[in-house]
Amino acid sequence: MIDINILRNNPELVKENIKRKFQDKKLPLVDEVLDLDKKLRAIKKEGDECRSKKNQISSQIGKFVAQKNFEEAEKAKKEVGDLNKKIAELEEEENVISAKVKKIMMTIPNFVAKDVPVGKDDTENVQLETFLEAKTKPFDVPYHTDILEKLGGIDLDSARRTSGQGFYYLTGDVARLHSAILTYARDFMIDRGYTYVIPPFMIRSDVVSGVMSFDEMDNMMYKIEGEDLYLIGTSEHSMIGRYMNTILDEKSLPLKLTSYSPCFRKEKGAHGIEERGIYRIHQFEKQEMIIICKPEDSEKFYDELWHNTVDFFVSMEIPVRTLACCTGDLADLKYKSLDVEAWSPRQKKYFEVGSCSNLTDAQARRLGIRFKTEKGNVFAHTLNNTVVAPPRMLIAFMENHLNEDGSVYIPPVLRPYMGGKDKIEVKI
């Protein structure tokens, strides 16, 4: 959510940002907010005048009584009663208009960084760098579920019977590899100075609306029936929500955190759930990284975050590239975003395995996350990035480390977490 003062003082700047994101249908919202804001300020002014007048008249009632001027005292009491009624009506109207303003302000997108490429959708994202050589195999690489099945590592049929499409059982060495990757990711981030956290896996609606846009909420979140609780789609949600309505000590910043959680997503929309495979599913586990910092430091930490993911994948000998997300591919709260994509020898192209985002103060304004300075309280900046989400990581891992005989090579960094094994053997 942007600062309403910017909208008041420079509405054209806000409209230009909306156009850069190809959301022209939202342009009328700017003028609508300005009209509502004008009414709101007029109501507040009238309310303040009524309260001042009420206090003035109230102070005279005692004098009238002391003077035994009961007629004037009763007249004053009636005026106070009328003013109380008027104040209540104004406060009710103020609450209604304030709620409308907040809802619209939460729909207007955050400002986009000047260096974000302009484009309508993810097809116009721009490659930045590649890391490690993207190699093809001298043999045909099977689909990832075929690889996993030969390793005795996945059971999709049983998962469909127990849970439906978009779920899976991992078994044996593949399940162990899945856990090994997460444990290695935890240690990797701890070694880089991040505090490890296991957060709640359910959050209330006021946290959900604070961490994401309404469209994202509808497309992603599972609601717990009969309760004000949602299953998290990523640990970022509860990690940022932890600091809701908090004034942090400036000396405590930056907060550098890494968190583990299961994640639950409806995956509504154009992408949908795959009938086969584990690329897009309803349930998965993830290691995340989050930073809460001063505004002047967020660009620096944005670079630190995506470098962490790149270094993590490179340490497991998986080629990756970085892509700058264009304006039309940014969610409403994002100032800028960078995707990390892993190489697929089977498809001979890269696919997304992580996303790094700087949200500036957009989340902090929604959630009331500030820090105390000598000049007053300031909204913090929030950033997040995926360390690893093993289902997609497993696809990249299996394809890049597949041997011709169907076995899968385990790089040295993971062997301590795999009981010293240097490969997973074919079982079928």
Return the percentage of the chain with pLDDT > 90, whole number. Answer: 86
Residue-wise pLDDT tens digits, 380-423: 999 999 999 988 899 999 999 999 999 999 999 999 999 999 99
Q: Let me know whether 85 and 139 are in one domain.
A: no
Tell me the Ramachandran region of residue 266: left when phi exceeds 0, alpha when psi lies from -120 to 50, beta otherwise. Answer: alpha
User: Are 394 and 272 spatial neighbours (Cβ–Cβ below 8 Å)?
Assistant: no
Domain boundary among 77, 105, 133: 105
Q: What is the predicted pLDDT for the residue at 269?
A: 54
88 is in which domain, residue-wise? 4-105
- What lies within 8 Å, CB to CB, of 329 at 6+ separation is 119, 121, 122, 124, 125, 337
Residue 35 within a domain? yes
The pLDDT of 77-92, averaged and rounded, is: 93
pLDDT in tens, 232-265: 999 999 999 999 999 999 999 999 999 999 999 9
- Per the prediction, the chain carries an average pLDDT of 94
On whether both 163 and 307 belong to a single domain, the answer is yes
* CATH number of the domain within which 24 lies: 1.10.287.40
If pLDDT is split at 50, 70 and 90, which confidence band does 311 have?
Answer: very high
Block residue for tokens 């993810």: 122
Specify the number of domains making up the chain.
Answer: 2
pLDDT of 278: 86
Q: What's the pLDDT tens digit per position in 37-74?
A: 999 999 999 999 999 999 999 888 888 888 888 888 88
Q: Is residue 288 part of a domain?
A: yes
Residue 368 falls inside a structural domain:
yes
Q: What CATH code is carried by the domain that includes residue 211?
A: 3.30.930.10
Indicate whether 55 and 152 sit together in one domain.
no
Kindly state whether residues 128 and 17 are assigned to the same domain.
Answer: no
Query: Do 365 and 235 belong to one domain?
Result: yes
132 and 8 inside one domain? no
Alpha carbons within 13 A on the beta-carbon side of 64: 14
Which of 225, 191, 232 lies closest to 210 in space, CA to CA?
232
Residue 407 lies inside a defined structural domain of this protein: yes
- Whether 55 and 174 map to the same domain: the answer is no
Q: Evaluate whether residue 373 is within a structural domain.
A: yes
Residue 337 placed within a domain: yes
Q: E strands within 71-217? A: 126-131, 154-155, 169-170, 195-197, 202-203
Residue given tokens 């484009």 in the structure block:
119
Domain shared by 61 and 195, yes or no = no
Of the residues 53, 71, 105, which one is the last residue of a structural domain?
105
C-beta separation of 101 from 37 below 8 A: yes
The answer to whether residue 114 is domain-embedded is no
**Residue at a domain's end among 48, 75, 105:** 105
